[in-house]
Amino acid sequence: MTIQNENFFKIIRAGINTTFQDLGRKNLYHIGIPFSGAMDNRNYLISNKLVNNNLDSPVLEFAYQGPLLKYYGDKIVISITGDVNFEIKKSSKTFIGNCYESYIIEDQDEINILSTKKSVYGYFSVGAQFDLEFYWGSCSTNTKAKIGSNDGNKLIDGQKIKLKKTNDDLTKKNLDYINSSIEKIRVLKGTNYDYFSEKGKKSFFEKEFLVSKLTDRMGMRLEGATIENIFDTNIKSEGLVKGVIQITSDGNPIIMLSDHGTIGGYPKIGVVISADYDKLVQLFPGSKIKFQEIELSDAETLFKMYEMETQKLISQI
Amino acid sequence: MIKNILNLGDAALYCDFGDDVNKEINSTVIKYFQTLKNEKIEGINNLTPSYNKLIISFDLKKTNFKKMCKIIENISINEKDSLSSNRIEIPVCCEENFSLDISRLEKKLKLGRDKIFDNFFSKEYFCYMTGFIAGMPFVGDLHNNLRAERLETPRVKVPKGSIGITEQFANVYTFESPGGWNIIGNTPKKIFNNKKELQPNLINPGDIIIFKNIDLKEYNDYSE
Same domain, B57 and B134: no
| Mean model confidence pLDDT for chain A | 95
In a domain, B78, yes or no: no
Residue B69 forms contact with A (CB below 8 Å) = no
Nearest to A177 by CA among A103, A87, A83: A83
Residues belonging to chain A: 317
Residues belonging to chain B: 224
Same domain, B20 and B95: no
**In the predicted structure, residue A201 carries a pLDDT above the cut 80:** yes
Given a contact cutoff of 8 angstroms between Cβ atoms, the answer to whether A112 and A68 are in contact is yes
Gap from B51 CA to chain A (nearest CA, Å): 7
Q: pLDDT digit string (tens) for A276-303? A: 999 999 999 999 999 999 999 999 999 9
The secondary structure element, H or E, covering residue B67 is: helix B65-73
Largest CA distance in chain A: 68
What are residue B214's DSSP bridge partners? B93
Chain A positions touching B132 (Cβ under 8 A) are: 32, 237, 261-264
Question: What is the rounded distance in angstroms from the CA atom of residue A265 to the CA atom of residue A244?
Answer: 12
Same domain, B150 and B110: yes
Instruction: Respond yes or no on whether ipTM tops 0.85.
Output: yes
Given a contact cutoff of 8 angstroms between Cβ atoms, the answer to whether A123 and A40 are in contact is yes
Averaged pLDDT for residues B109-122: 97
**Domain residue ranges in chain A:** 2-166, 185-315
Chain B positions touching A263 (Cβ under 8 A) are: 48, 50, 129, 131-132, 138
Nearest to B26 by CA among B185, B149, B168: B168
Identify which has the larger pLDDT, A286 or B78. Answer: A286
Q: pLDDT digit string (tens) for A202-250? A: 999 999 999 999 999 999 999 999 999 999 988 999 999 999 999 998 8
Q: pLDDT digit string (tens) for A9-44? A: 999 999 999 999 999 999 999 999 999 999 999 999
In a domain, B80, yes or no: no
**In the predicted structure, residue B151 carries a pLDDT above the cut 90:** no
Given a contact cutoff of 8 angstroms between Cβ atoms, the answer to whether A188 and A270 are in contact is yes
Q: Which chain A residue lies closest to B196 (C-alpha atoms)?
A: A135
- Residue A4's pLDDT is what? 54
Same domain, B105 and B213: yes
Question: What is the rounded distance in angstroms from the CA atom of residue A87 to the CA atom of residue A106?
Answer: 15
Chain A interface mutation, best of B2, B5, B10, B128, highest count of A Cβ atoms under 10 Å: B10
Q: Are A188 and B197 within 8 A, CB to CB?
A: no
Averaged pLDDT for residues A97-108: 97
Q: Can you give the CATH number for the domain in which B20 is found? A: 3.30.1360.40
- Residue A249's pLDDT is what? 86
- Residue B195's pLDDT is what? 87
Q: pLDDT digit string (tens) for B44-66? A: 999 999 999 999 999 999 999 99
Gap from B215 CA to chain A (nearest CA, Å): 28
Torsion on CA atoms A171, A172, A176, A182, rounded to nearest 10: 100
Given a contact cutoff of 8 angstroms between Cβ atoms, the answer to whether A272 and A243 are in contact is yes
Given a contact cutoff of 8 angstroms between Cβ atoms, the answer to whether A262 and B132 are in contact is yes
Given a contact cutoff of 8 angstroms between Cβ atoms, the answer to whether A247 and A196 are in contact is yes
Question: What is the rounded distance in angstroms from the CA atom of residue A86 to the CA atom of residue A82?
Answer: 11
Given a contact cutoff of 8 angstroms between Cβ atoms, the answer to whether A254 and A147 are in contact is no
In a domain, B158, yes or no: yes
Gap from B41 CA to chain A (nearest CA, Å): 11
The secondary structure element, H or E, covering residue B12 is: strand B12-16
Chain B positions touching A145 (Cβ under 8 A) are: 133-134, 175, 194
pLDDT class of B181 with cuts at 50, 70, 90:
very high
Region for residue B39 given its phi and psi (left: phi exceeds 0; alpha: psi -120 to 50; beta: otherwise)? alpha
Question: What is the rounded distance in angstroms from the CA atom of residue A249 to the CA atom of residue A266?
Answer: 8
Of B19, B50, B195, the CB nearest to A239: B50
Bond preceding residue B141 cis, omega within 30 of 0: yes
Q: Are B46 and A272 within 8 A, CB to CB?
A: no
The parent domain of residue B113 ranges over 87-221
Gap from A108 CA to chain B (nearest CA, Å): 35
Q: pLDDT digit string (tens) for A132-187? A: 999 999 999 999 889 999 999 999 999 999 999 999 999 999 999 988 888 899 99
Residue B128 forms contact with A (CB below 8 Å) = no
Q: Which CATH entry fits the domain spanning A185-315: 3.60.21.10, 3.20.10.10, 2.40.100.10, 3.30.2400.10?
A: 2.40.100.10
What's the pTM? 0.95
Question: What is the rounded distance in angstroms from the CA atom of residue A195 to the CA atom of residue B89?
Answer: 39
Gap from B162 CA to chain A (nearest CA, Å): 15
Name, in order, each residue with C-beta under 8 angstroms of B73's C-beta and a sequence gap of 6 or more. Answer: B2, B5
B41 exposure class (CB count in 10 Å sphere: 0-12, 13-18, 19+)? middle
Other beta carbons within 10 angstroms of residue A269's beta carbon come to 26
Same domain, B191 and B146: yes
Same domain, B60 and B152: no
Question: What is the rounded distance in angstroms from the CA atom of residue B12 to the CA atom of residue B68?
Answer: 9
The DSSP call for residue B115 is H
Of B19, B47, B52, the CB nearest to A30: B47
Q: Are A271 and B8 within 8 A, CB to CB?
A: yes
- CA distances (Å), A210 to each of A30, A196, A259, in order? 32, 20, 21
| Total H helices, total E strands in chain A | 4, 21
Chain B positions touching A35 (Cβ under 8 A) are: 45-46
Chain A positions touching B175 (Cβ under 8 A) are: 144-146
**Of the residues B42, B73, B104, which one is the last residue of a structural domain?**
B73
**Of the residues B73, B100, B115, which one is the last residue of a structural domain?**
B73
Nearest to B23 by CA among B154, B165, B202, B208: B208
- Extended beta strands in B67-181, E state: 87-93, 124-130, 137-140, 155-158, 162-166, 169-172, 177-179
Name, in order, each residue with C-beta under 8 angstroms of B80's C-beta and a sequence gap of 6 or more. Answer: none
Same domain, B119 and B189: yes
Chain B positions touching A37 (Cβ under 8 A) are: none
Q: Which chain A residue lies closest to B53 (C-alpha atoms)?
A: A238
Phi, psi (degrees; rounded to nearest 5) at A276? -100, 0
Other beta carbons within 10 angstroms of residue B59's beta carbon come to 14
Chain A positions touching B130 (Cβ under 8 A) are: 30-32
Name, in order, each residue with C-beta under 8 angstroms of B175's C-beta and a sequence gap of 6 or more. Answer: A144, A145, A146, B133, B134, B160, B192
Question: What is the rounded distance in angstroms from the CA atom of residue B205 to the CA atom of residue A30?
Answer: 10
Question: What is the rounded distance in angstroms from the CA atom of residue B175 to the CA atom of residue A145?
Answer: 7
In a domain, B24, yes or no: yes
Report B:11-30 residues touching A (Cβ under 8 A): 11-12, 14, 19, 21
In a domain, B79, yes or no: no
Same domain, B92 and B140: yes
Given a contact cutoff of 8 angstroms between Cβ atoms, the answer to whether A263 and B48 are in contact is yes
Same domain, B55 and B124: no
Region for residue A39 given its phi and psi (left: phi exceeds 0; alpha: psi -120 to 50; beta: otherwise)? alpha
The secondary structure element, H or E, covering residue A277 is: helix A277-281
> Which amino acid, residue B30?
I
Q: Can you give the CATH number for the domain in which B180 is found? A: 2.40.100.10
Q: How many domains does chain B have?
A: 2
3 state DSSP class of A271: strand
| Cβ–Cβ pairs < 8 A, chains A and B | 141
In a domain, B130, yes or no: yes
Report B:73-112 residues touching A (Cβ under 8 A): none
Residue B150 forms contact with A (CB below 8 Å) = yes
Given a contact cutoff of 8 angstroms between Cβ atoms, the answer to whether A289 and A265 are in contact is no
